[in-house]
Each structure stands twice: as C-alpha cells, then as structure tokens.
Homo-oligomer: A and B are copies of this chain.
C-alpha cells in the first residue's frame, strides 16, 4: 500500500477502495475519479478502460488473499507451531483489509476465468501442498488423528476467512459493535489455533 502522490497511484488507491467496496458492476468510474480527486478522463488516460483498471486491482487482491496463504506455510517450524503461527499470521493479515475476502470471492464467482489467468504466473501453492503432505506423514506415524489433509486445510482457511466475509452479518446477528468485533478477532487467533490442534489429537 504505497502512498506516493503520482496521479497513477492516486487512481489505483481510489480504484481499490471503490472496487473493493462495491464490486466491478457496482463501481462507477465517476466515483473512482471523485475518490481520487481528479478528472474522470484521467482514468482512461492512464488505464484505458474500467475493465483494465479492475484487472489490476483484482490481481493485487488475489495475490494478497491467496499468495499469502502459501507464503504463510513456508519455513521449517515443527508442524504444530506452524499451524498456530499460520493461523495467527493469516488472520492478522486479513484484518488489515477486511473487504478483501468477500471481494475476491464475489468476483471469482462472477467470472471464474479471471482466476485462471492469475495462476499462469506461478505454481499452485507449493508450500501449502508440501505442508499437506507433511500432515499425511504425521497421520501415518500416528502423531495426529487420521484426517483428509484437504478437508483440514479448507477448514482452517474457512475459520480464518469466513468471519471477515460475514462481518456485517455477524455484527448484526450477534449485536456486536466495531469494537466488539475487533476483540472477537483478537480472541479468534488463539481459539482457532487451539481448536485445530485439539481436533488433531489422536
């Protein structure tokens, strides 16, 4: 999130804000221009079209959401610590941009092909796959309960991501204010970690 003052950057920042909040179809070029404090023609001058501009913001967002999932499972900690660290790490990083998960999920749903083009740039989560293999080994050795690593991984991601995707729903249903939600998320870092470790106990 650099904040240089070049017009190009101002546009990207404004586009990020508006697209994340309203999605591709809900965003208005005029609103992005207003948010950037510049003339609408500049958007096209620098980025040609709404779609091109969106593509940039979207690619960035996918990277922030998925790229991190892989990065977080790097390192050579023992598996227990790695799980706990990864969860803490991931929840913290999403906290910094709570709109991100739902934005990415929604736009992928609108046009799944867009995701494919993102994956041509890199391999499919090597660290995550390595970690899943490691879990399978530990299960074979009897150190953890025998579980499908894919189901486990998706469960962990679910528990980390979903609360953010459902934030307005949760705050509405359980009558939390912004403060209570922040506290809930802080708690959650600890909860999910121990919840998962306990569930893996043989």
Please give the residue numbers on chain A whose beta carbons come within 8 Å of chain B beta carbons, in ascending order: 22-26, 66, 99, 102, 104-106, 108-110, 112, 115-116, 119, 124-125, 145, 147-148, 150-152, 154-155, 157-159, 161-163, 165-170, 172-175, 184, 187-188, 191-192, 195-196, 198-201
* Complexed CA–CA distance, A196 and B23 (Å): 34
Q: How far apart are the CA atoms of A112 and B168 in the complex, in Å?
A: 6
Q: Is the CB of B115 within 8 A of A172?
A: yes
CB of B112 within 8 A of CB of A145, answer: no
Inter-chain pairs besides A108-B168, A150-B184, A201-B201, 7 sampled, C-beta below 8 Å: A23-B106, A109-B167, A116-B172, A151-B184, A151-B191, A154-B162, A159-B159
Please report the C-alpha to C-alpha distance between residue A175 and residue B145 in the assembled complex, in whole angstroms. Answer: 26
A163–B195 Cα gap in the complex (Å)? 19
Indicate if the CB atoms of A110 and B159 lie closer than 8 Å: no
Query: From DSSP, what is the main secondary structure of chain A's interface residues?
Result: helix
- Shortest A140–chain B CB gap in Å is 18
Distance from A135 Cβ to chain B, minimum over Cβ atoms (Å) = 14
4 A-B pairs with the lowest CB-CB distances in the bound complex, closest first: A158-B162, A199-B199, A25-B26, A112-B168
Partner of A195, one of B147, B188, B191: B147
Q: Please indicate the chain B residues that have their CB under 8 angstroms from the CB of A147 in the complex.
A: 191, 195
Closest B residue to A197 using CB positions: B199
In the bound complex, residues from chain B placing their C-beta under 8 Å from that of A26 are: 23-26, 110
Give the shortest distance, in Å, between A110 (CB) and chain B (any CB): 7
B23, B112, B196: which contacts A25 (Cβ < 8 A)? B23
